Chain A
Amino acid sequence: DAGITQSPRHKVTETGTPVTLRCHQTENHRYMYWYRQDPGHGLRLIHYSYGVKDTDKGEVSDGYSVSRSKTEDFLLTLESATSSQTSVYFCAIKVTDGAEAFFGQGTRLTVV
């Protein structure tokens, strides 16, 4: 457990509404990541951050934005949710002098 908390854990929302998912860490790690998990695709990187206000796009960033105004929080926003964004979203961190990622428990998002 790397002190990662995702909220909410489950959410159902309507198409076209904005949605924000939160990832909170307690250990001040520099690197944070948002992935989505879909059957047959494994985990795909949406956005990542390498410091406060330093973020970059991953392989499936369209329709998503992120913000990191504090070291401990990394927010993922769906500006206008679509059914194709129904997925399980995982936040991860990487310790500065390590190689592997540590994952949160995931957020199951359903867009109806």
Chain B
Amino acid sequence: AQSVTQLDSQVPVFEEAPVELRCNYSSSVSVYLFWYVQYPNQGLQLLLKYLSGSTLVKGINGFEAEFNKSQTSFHLRKPSVHISDTAEYFCAVKGTGNTGGFKTIFGAGTRLFVKA
């Protein structure tokens, strides 16, 4: 079974400042890792994903995340945020292949507030 912990429920930040949203996971099998973004009154959309290979993953809207296997972390970063980045961000994990099952498990979410 897998689980995900998002360490911050809310992150306020000023426009153009850098931001890091933290995510830790636990799993007994190898995993795929994801970050999703949810804008108000909308569904979730994929921001980026780690499947294999390079541990630094780049996504849409200037976001990137780094997979750290030894620390079981997948933190999301952006060097300079915009007002339009205000949204809720979800970290998610899924076991690879059939041994991991077909289920994607989500964290509780981090609400990012970007202030002018």
Interface residues of A (CB under 8 A from B): 31, 33, 35, 40-45, 48, 50, 58, 90, 92, 94, 99-106
Tell me the count of chain B residues lying within 8 A, CB to CB, of chain A.
Answer: 23
The contact of B109 among A42, A48, A103, by CB within 8 Å, is A42
Q: Taking chain B's interface residues, is the majority helix, strand, or loop, or is none over half, making it mixed?
A: strand
Shortest Cβ distance from A40 into B: residue = B108
* Chain B, range 95-116, C-beta contacts under 8 Å to A: 102-109
The contact of B106 among A43, A100, A105, by CB within 8 Å, is A43
Q: Is the CB of A45 within 8 A of B43?
A: no
Tell whether B42 is near chain A: CB-to-CB under 8 Å.
yes
Known: A50-B102, A99-B51, A100-B34. A43 touches B90 (CB 8 A): yes
Known: A42-B90, A42-B109. A94 touches B46 (CB 8 A): no
In the bound assembly, the distance between CA atoms of A7 and B13 in angstroms comes to: 36
Known: A40-B9, A40-B108, A42-B90. A31 touches B102 (CB 8 A): yes
Tell whether B63 is near chain A: CB-to-CB under 8 Å.
no
